[in-house]
Amino acid sequence: MHMKETQMVTPRPIEVSVFRLSILRAYYVLMAVGTMAIFWPDLISHTNDWGIDTGAQYSLLGALTPFALLGLRYPLKMLPIILYEFAWKALWFIFVVAPLWSNDAMTEGVWANVFACGIAIVLTPIVLPWRYFWQVYVAAPTDRWR
């Protein structure tokens, strides 16, 4: 005799307005254009004399471009990409910029990146539909393990 498997009913995600979806799409455009402009020219041309770290960094961040473009079609499904972008930049601020700044060792290059990365640090909390994110990615039941 088999026991009947109980099914959990997942509540329907809250509606996200068309306006909010448009803002998310604009954010994905900003991500795609930024990563295309900054990383792809050097990836394609091979003009930089990179060490393994810089090549890996450019490849990793360049890989965000197609996912940001996919966010134009699926803005809610691709929210983890926005959070990843926010997380790596927040970590960079905490573990790279803060020590440089506290030791008065900031360079022009670091300051330029502070501005570029700071845009995401400021905009992400504004554009992210937090209630939707919480309901779908945090409070929802987990997927089965087996």
Cβ–Cβ < 8 Å for 65, 38: no
Q: What is the mean pLDDT of residues 91-118?
A: 94
pLDDT class of 49 with cuts at 50, 70, 90: confident
Neighbours of 120 (CB within 10 A): 21
Residue 4: CB partners within 8 Å, gap ≥ 6?
Answer: none
Q: What is the mean pLDDT of residues 121-137?
A: 94
pLDDT digits (tens, 9 = 90+) for 63-78: 999 999 999 999 999 9
Long-range contacts, stretch 55-60, CB < 8 angstroms, 24+ apart? none
pLDDT digits (tens, 9 = 90+) for 16-42: 999 999 999 999 999 999 999 999 998
Domain boundaries, the chain: 18-138
